Amino acid sequence: MTILDGKKISNQIKEEITEEVKVMKANGEKVPHLAAVLVGNDGASLTYVGSKVRACKRIGFESTLVQMPSTTSELELLKKIDELNNNDDIDGFIVQLPLPKQIDTQKVLMAIDPNKDVDGFHPMNFGKMALDMSTFIPATPFGILELLERYKVETKGKHTVVIGRSHIVGRPMSILMGRKGFPGNSTVTLTHSHTKNITQITSQADIIITALGVPGFLKAEMVKDDVVIIDVGITRVPDETKEKGYYITGDVDFENVSKKASFITPVPGGVGPMTIAMLLKNTLLARERHRS
């Protein structure tokens, strides 16, 4: 069994980008600039956005954190997006999800300039992804592809089962694994809350990608030997014995499933760190597009 070490690979990617930034600086070029918009003060979102901004600083990117109160109206947020779209100093930006209830997420995502949409959530970029055109691939799915590629996990002709159809992970992942090329060329089954007899499906899977947010959902009895497991679940479980008052766990019963798996991502330290590394990669791409 091989651990797909997202922490290690993400550090490699960040080192690669750091080298590119050094060259830019040496040539007197402007470094990439990422902005992140956070509306409200959801604890998990604050942590994620903080990690994204810190990662920028560490590798030499410029970054801007735009914090708006939870009472922000849709119009106020749309105005801020317009400002960021027109700010020539900013190469790419993200709006952290989820947004407060009074704001229509789809409307907000559609307002982002597709050339600055480093999350790849704009319908134009999502459509390009589905059509195999060059575009920003959402960071979490992009990170999963990168992990599969760097560990040379065979995907061609394999049965990939995706659990969860979120716009951020499950849906794009189901498209990407079926695309031509590597990693891809899989036969994909997308399962969700209305799927009947999911064990019958997961037990036929060569590769399982879970993005549910239900701790311990995937159990050893549900998988076959030598399965490849990608666990995208990140749930905070309250635990007063821990320093932070919680611990992080995935969708997979790691202890038992790992005994049957050929490759498996840990939580934490698997897909999570890859998401940040790929956001940085997309920002680098945005800068290249912006300046060419």
Point out the residues that are catalytic. Answer: 52, 96, 119
> Considering the complex, what minimum distance in angstroms separates the CB of residue 187 from ligand GUN?
26
Beta carbon nearer to ligand GUN, 42 or 154: 42
Beta carbon nearer to ligand GUN, 170 or 189: 170
Beta carbon nearer to ligand GUN, 110 or 220: 110
Beta carbon nearer to ligand GUN, 212 or 261: 212
> Considering the complex, what minimum distance in angstroms separates the CB of residue 26 from ligand GUN?
31
Task: Kindly state the tokens that stand for 292.
Answer: 């060419």
Residue 150, annotated as binding a ligand:
no
Residue 164, annotated as binding a ligand:
yes
> Considering the complex, what minimum distance in angstroms separates the CB of residue 154 from ligand GUN?
27
Task: Kindly state the tokens that stand for 218.
Answer: 């995937």
- Indicate the pairing of strand 246-249 with strand 159-163: unpaired
> Considering the complex, what minimum distance in angstroms separates the CB of residue 243 from ligand GUN?
24
Residue 166, annotated as binding a ligand:
yes
- State how far the Cα of 199 lies from the Cα of 202, in Å rounded to an integer: 5
CB of 277 within 8 A of CB of 16? no
Angle at 216 between CA 173 and CA 142, to 5 degrees: 20
Chain positions contacting ligand GUN, by CB under 6 A: 94-97, 119, 139-140, 168, 275
Kindly give, in sequence order, each residue whose CB lies less than 8 Å from that of residue 176, ignoring residues fewer than 6 positions away.
129, 137, 141, 145, 183, 184
- State how far the Cα of 28 lies from the Cα of 42, in Å rounded to an integer: 39
- Number of CB atoms found within 10 A of residue 125's CB: 22
Binding residues for NADP(+): 164-166, 234
Residues of each annotated binding site: 164-166, 234
